[in-house]
Each structure stands twice: as C-alpha cells, then as structure tokens.
Structure 1
Amino acid sequence: MQLELLLALVFGGIAGIALLLHLFGYSRPLTFDEDSARTHWLRQYPISRPGTVHLSQDRAAALVETPDGPGLVWAMGADSTAHLLTGATLRTTRRGLRIDLHEFAAPGVRVRLSPEARETWARLIPTHETKGALPA
C-alpha cells in the first residue's frame, strides 16, 4: 500500500471518529445540577458530606457547603474535580470570580456568577482576599 493512501486512511479515520463523537454529544462539556454536584463531590471526598450547593451561572462549577468548610467542584471537559477552599484567594472579574487555590495541581478557577451570587460565594468562602477586577 502506498504511503499517501495509508496516511489518507489514517487521517480520515481519526477525523471520522472525532466527528461521530461530536455528533453523538460526547464533546459537550460537563454541567452540574445540585444532585450531580453532590455526586461529583463525594467521588473526591467520600467522608465529607455535602450540604447546600450553589451553582455557577453556566453550571460548570458549584460551591458545596460541607462540615469541613466550603469546597468547589468544577468541570474539566467531560470530567470534574473538587477541592476544599481552605486558604483560597478570590478576585473579582467582570463575569464572576477567580478562585486561586494556591495549589500546583489546580492553580486557579474562573467561575461565572451573577453579581448577587458573587456576593454569596464571597461571603461563604471564609478566608479570602477580594482584589480588583481582572479581565475575564
């Protein structure tokens, strides 16, 4: 088989698989409702029982109140991750908040929030500094 034909088949196959995955909805980013945010929280922190859940405006993140303090669950593509917000720093952006976790594996998360929700989240995250607006 000629190299040109083999390359065309390989690239065509990869493009076809990517197109099918997109058409079947597997390229959609993860979004949360209250129950799914609790489920994703428990996957990372099975002992820390989630209480009240506050969803972001685009439902890509959720603030979870727990007995151990507030935590954040957010989407990373089609998966999620969660972190306790101990020692987090908040910065106001035009569209919400930037939460800096001061952790190498998860340095910061931008959360889209309405002005009212921004105030609620800032009040619930106990140790934070609010800084000036950043570009969103």
Structure 2
Amino acid sequence: MPLWLLGIIVVVGLTAIWVFMRLYGFDKSLKLTHEMAGQEFTTDNPGLVAEDIVLARSGQAALIRAAGDTYVLWVMGQDVATHNLARARVTEAPEGVTLRLPDFAAPKVTIHLTDDEKRTWLPLIEAAN
C-alpha cells in the first residue's frame, strides 16, 4: 500500500472518531453526584460501601469514608479512580490540594477545590494519615 494512501486512511479514520466522540458527548468529563460517587466507589472497591461522601462542587472529586478508612475519588474523563489516603501526603496548591500517593500509577494528583472546600477537605485528609 502506498504511504500516501495509508496517510489518508489514518487521517480520515481519526477525523471520523473525533466527530463521533463530539456528537455523542464522549469528549466531556464525567460529573459526579452523591449517588454516582457511591456507585463508582463500590464498583472500584468491591465489598466496601461508602458511609460518608464529601463531594467537590465541581463534581470532579469526592472524599469517601468506608470501613474506617478515607478514600479519594477523582474523575479521569469518563471514568474514576479511587485511592486510600492512609499514607498520602497532602499540600495546599493555589487551585486546591495536591496529594502524593504511594502508588506508581498515580503518584501525584491535584484536586481542584475552592477555598471553602480546602478548609473542609484538609482536616479530613490529614486525619486519614
């Protein structure tokens, strides 16, 4: 197959995927509600049930208490990730808080919070350590 033809096929294919994603709304990130955060947490952590959920106003993150531990849940596109905050280090950032997690797959996460939310979240995260 000539290189120019392969190039056209790749460009047309990527453009079609982009149009499909835009038309069906797959380019927008997930926005959490309390119920959705609880369901996503249970899906990521089978056997655990969310006892208390503190949701960020943006709907992009949540602090969850379950079985005596505190977890952070954050949105990554159309999916979520959860991590136990037992050994996390937290620092304030201008846009929220930065968590350094003992996980090579997600070593540092910045959660975007308002100033009011920072005052609520920081003591809860520090208490988890």
TM range (shorter): 0.7 to 0.9
- Tell me the CA shift for residue 82 of structure 1: 0.7
Distance in 2, matches of 1:94 and 1:10, equals 41
Q: How many residues align?
A: 128
Q: Does 1:109 align with 2:109?
A: yes
User: What is the match of residue 98 of structure 2?
Assistant: 98
Matches within 5 A, 1:1-136: 3-125=3-125, 126-127=127-128
Structure 1 pair 34–127 and aligned structure 2 pair: CA distance change class (3 A):
closer
TM-score by length of 2: 0.87
Mapped contact 1:97–1:110 kept (Cα < 8 A)? yes
Give me the whole-angstrom Cα distance separating, in 2, the residues matched to 1:2 and 1:104: 42
Between stretches 46-55 and 92-101, larger displacement belongs to 46-55
The C-alpha deviation readout for 1:56-107, integer Å capped at 9, x for no partner, is: 2321111111123110111122211111110111110112111111221211
CA distance in 2, matches of 1:17, 1:47: 37
Quick one: which amino acid aligns to residue 103 of structure 1?
A: D
Percent of paired sites with the same residue: 27
Aligned AA (1:40): E
SS of the residue 1:46 aligns to: coil
8 Å contact 1:89–1:127 — kept in the other structure? no
| Structure 2 unaligned spans of 5+ | none
Please give the secondary structure, in 2, of the residue aligned with 1:91: strand
Q: Is the 8 A contact 1:48 1:68 kept in 2?
A: no
Segment drifting more, 16-25 vs 87-96: 16-25
Runs of at least 5 residues in structure 1 that lack an aligned partner in the other structure: 129-136
Structure 2 Cα separation of the partners of residues 120 and 75 of structure 1: 20
Deviates more, 1:30-39 or 1:11-20: 11-20
Superposition CA RMSD, Å: 1.8
Mean Cα deviation higher: 88-97 or 49-58: 49-58
Amino acid at match of 2:48: S
The structure carrying a bigger helix percent of its residues is 2
Secondary structure of the residue aligned to 1:111 is strand
- CA 1:6/1:49 → structure 2, altered by over 3 Å: closer, same or farther? closer
